Amino acid sequence: MMKIKRILIISLLFSMIISGCNSKKSNADVDQNDAQEEEIVDTHSNDGRTVVGISMPDMLLERWNRDGSFLKTQFENDGCEVILRFANNLIDTQANDLRYMIKNGADLLVITAVDGAALSGVLDEAAKANIKIIAYDRLLMDSDAVDYYVSFDNYQVGVLQANYVIDALQLNSTQKTFNIEFVSGDPVDNNARFFYGGAMDTLQPYIDAGTLQVLSNQTSFYETSTSQWSTDLAQQRLQIILNSYYPKGTIIDAVLCANDSTALGAARALEADYAEKNPVVITGQDGDIANIYNILNGVQSMTVFKAMDKESVVTADLGLAILAGKKPNSDLIDASNWDFDCDYNTTDYNNGVRTVSAYLLKPITITIDNIEEELFDTGYYSRNTSGLIYAVE
Ligand code: BGC
C-alpha cells in the first residue's frame, strides 16, 4: 500500500493532545461485537484522552468496511482512541451508535449517514456536548451541528461515468441512435443526487438530440433511484424494464449505474433477461471486488475509483486540526504534503440549513486498460497464489 506521509506541522502542533492519548490505556477501542457489553464510562470531558467515534452505515456494502478500517488506523496512528461501529443500514441503530459514542467520551464524530436527514436530533446532542462532527463521504443534512464535510467530487463521478458512455458508443461521431437506461442511487443519500446530476447533465444534450434514447422513459432521479443501493432492487427494476421495453430484437447499448452494487444488479438482470448478444456498456463506482472481476471478464465496462485511504488521511488531519481549536480552510491543504489532489469547497454542499465547507478528492476512471496499473500496481488490490483477488488493508 502506498505510504502517505503525515503532515509534520499538524503532528507537531497537536502533539500535546496526542501524547495525552498515547499515555492512556485504550478502553474505547471497541468494535460492533463487543460494544454492547462495554461499560459506559463517562460523557465527553477533559480526561486527557482523545476519543474518535466512527459511525459507518453498513458492513454489507464493501467499501464501508475498508473506510472504517482506514479511518481507524489513521486516527490510532495519531494517538487517538477509536470507537468504530457499523449501523446495518438502520437509522435507529446509527443514532444509538452515536449516543453510545457521546456517552463514552467522544471528542470527534466521523459519520457516514444511513439517511443523511435522519440524525439531526442526535447531532444536536453531540454539538451541545461540544463534540466536533465531520460528515464523511455523505453529507449530513438538516443540521447546523456539522463542522466539515470530507468526500470526493461527487458530481464529477457522474460526469466520468457519462463521459465513458460517450466515448464507448462514440456518440460524437455517429448518426445512429443508441438505447440507454439509468440506475441511480439511494434517494436518502445526498451523494446520489450529485452522481445523477453529473451524469444526466453530461448526457442530456445527446438525449435531446436523439442520439441517445431511454425506451423506458424513466429518466428522473426518483424514477431511476435504488433504495439502499440494493443490488437486488437494481436487478429487479432492470429486469422489469428489459421485459417491458427490450423484447428480442431490441438492443440496449448502455446501463448507466451509479455505483458497483447497482452495476452488479444490472449485470445479473442482463444475464437473466436480455436475449441479444451485443456488449452492453455498464458503468459503476467504487471498485468492489466482484466488480473488478466483472471488469476483467468484460461484463462491466468501467468503475469510478475513490481512494479511501486518502479520504481517511484528509479526515484524520482535519479532525486533529479541529480538535486543536483550529478553523481549517484551504490552509489545511497548503500546509499538508499530501501526494494527491484535494480541493477546498465552500459553495456546493448546502445541507438545507447551511453550506458546509468541504474537502473534495478526485475520483478516477478504471477500465480494463488501466485496472492493473491503478488498482494492482498501486497496491490497493492483490492476487493470492490461486489468482483470487483481495483488497490490501
Ligand atoms: C458512496 C458510494 C457508494 C454508495 C453506496 C455513496 O454515498 O459515495 O461510493 O457506492 O454510497 O454505498
Check whether residue 87 and residue 187 sit in a common domain: no
CA-based nearest residue to 243, from 181, 178, 186: 181
Q: Which atom of ligand 1 is found nearest the CA of 191?
A: 7
Mutate to test the pocket of ligand 1, among 285, 305, 366 (most ligand atoms within 8 A of CB): 285
Q: Is the CB of 229 under 6 A from ligand 1?
A: yes
Contact call for residues 359 and 346 (beta carbons, < 8 A):
no
pLDDT at 61: 85
pLDDT at 11: 41
CA of 259 to the centre of ligand 1 (A): 7
Q: Given 285, 320, 341, which residue is the final one in a domain?
A: 285
Q: Which atom of ligand 1 is found nearest the CA of 229?
A: 5
CA of 40 to the centre of ligand 1 (A): 32
Check whether residue 161 and residue 147 sit in a common domain: no
Helix (H, G, I), strand (E, B) or coil at 171: helix
Domain that holds residue 262: 155-285
**For the chain, what is the domain count?**
2
Q: Whose CA is nearest to atom 3 of ligand 1?
A: 259
Q: Which letter does DSSP use for residue 362 in this model?
A: -
pLDDT at 13: 38
pTM to 2 decimal places: 0.89
| Residues 6 or more apart whose Cβ sits within 8 Å of residue 192 | 184, 185, 186, 221, 225, 258
pLDDT at 47: 67
Check whether residue 234 and residue 333 sit in a common domain: no
CA of 168 to the centre of ligand 1 (A): 24
pLDDT at 393: 79
What does the alpha-carbon distance between residue 167 and residue 371 come to, in Å, rounded to a whole number? 18
Q: Is the CB of 189 under 6 A from ligand 1?
A: yes
CA of 325 to the centre of ligand 1 (A): 31
Please indicate, yes or no, if residue 366 is contained in any of the structural domains: no
Check whether residue 228 and residue 263 sit in a common domain: yes
pLDDT at 359: 98
- In the block, cell 461527487 appears at 154
The CATH number of whichever domain residue 269 belongs to comes to 3.40.50.2300
What is the DSSP pairing of strand 212-213 with strand 364-367?
unpaired
pLDDT at 28: 42
Please indicate, yes or no, if residue 27 is contained in any of the structural domains: no
Q: Is the CB of 285 under 6 A from ligand 1?
A: yes
Please indicate, yes or no, if residue 38 is contained in any of the structural domains: no
Please indicate, yes or no, if residue 35 is contained in any of the structural domains: no
pLDDT at 48: 78
- In the block, cell 471478464 appears at 297
The segments of the chain whose pLDDT lies below 50 read 1-42
What does the alpha-carbon distance between residue 118 and residue 147 come to, in Å, rounded to a whole number? 17
Check whether residue 131 and residue 212 sit in a common domain: no
* CA separation, residue 332 to residues 51, 226, 361 (Å): 22, 36, 14
Q: Which atom of ligand 1 is found nearest the CA of 138?
A: 7
Q: Is the CB of 138 under 6 A from ligand 1?
A: yes
Which sign does the torsion angle of CA 372, 378, 381, 383 carry? positive
Check whether residue 318 and residue 336 sit in a common domain: yes
pLDDT at 29: 42
Rounded to the nearest 5°, which phi and psi values hold at 86?
A: -115, 140
CB atoms within 10 A of CB 252: 22
Please indicate, yes or no, if residue 297 is contained in any of the structural domains: no
Q: Which letter does DSSP use for residue 386 in this model?
A: T
pLDDT at 46: 62
Please indicate, yes or no, if residue 383 is contained in any of the structural domains: no
